[in-house]
Chain A
């Protein structure tokens, strides 16, 4: 599914060096599980986001493997350490090969 996929990320704009911040991410995606059937009894093929990663200046924060049991519009909340000013990069990998990206800058004061 390549239409209507919109990633949303919430990251604070500033932080102290070495501070722990909370990041919330959400991407609109129907996450078709491959278990449901349509009106004719045919199985609707699986179409989910199977991997999500968060990086800060190239260093990994979290790498999540998603299975069909993750709800529609997959949401993640996690915590990260910010050692310096830089950019968070979030990537979602779709079953159909699409890759969705979002990045957020954060400055350390």
Chain B
């Protein structure tokens, strides 16, 4: 095969695209594994959990997030673009009022934040929010 300039460019962009495809979902599948470990592969519903996160976070070191899930026993937060997807688990006790919590989290890059709530009847509910991060929060 004769290597023309055009062909080399085509090969180059092909491998680049491949690299970017294999790069990101590696983290995403970590998140899927972590979620599966939490739910035990049970079906996850949507609609009950309210996850409030900014659309654009200028500083990935402190991104304010709020989760609320009436009737939840616990809520676990995941960030699918972080080196470690787990962020925090909130376990609500008998004196917890609204089953909601706010905190500030670190996000390494633009990614999805996922909240999984375990409900009182043992079922699972989820919510997802995409956050665009201008400056990542994992240091270097």
Contact = CB atoms under 8 A, between A and B. Distances in A.
Interface string B97-109: 1101111111100
Q: Which of A69, A79, A83 has the most CB of B within 10 A?
A: A69
Interface stretch (B16-24, B39-47, B85-93): B85-93
B62 A64 contact: no
A33 B139 contact: yes
A86 to B, nearest CB: 10
A90 interface: no
Contacts of A69: 79, 82, 84, 86-88, 105-107
B108 to A, nearest CB: 8
Interface residues of A, number: 32
B91 A64 contact: yes
B140 interface: yes
A34 to B, nearest CB: 9
Contacts of A68: 84, 106
Nearest to A35: B138
Interface residues of B, number: 33
A79 B100 contact: yes
B106 A60 contact: no
A62 B140 CA distance: 33
Contacts, number: 106
Q: Which of A33, A65, A71 has the most CB of B within 10 A?
A: A71
Contacts of B61: 71-72
Given A69-B82, A72-B62, A60 B95 contact: yes
A69 B113 CA distance: 12
A34 B30 CA distance: 18
B18 to A, nearest CB: 26
A70 interface: yes
Contacts of A72: 61-62
Interface in A74-106: 74-83
A76 B139 contact: no
Interface of A: 20-21, 33, 35-37, 55-56, 59-72, 74-83
Interface of B: 61-63, 66, 79, 82-84, 86-98, 100-107, 137-140
Task: List 3 A-B pairs, minimum CB-CB distance, nearest first.
Answer: A60-B93, A36-B139, A79-B97
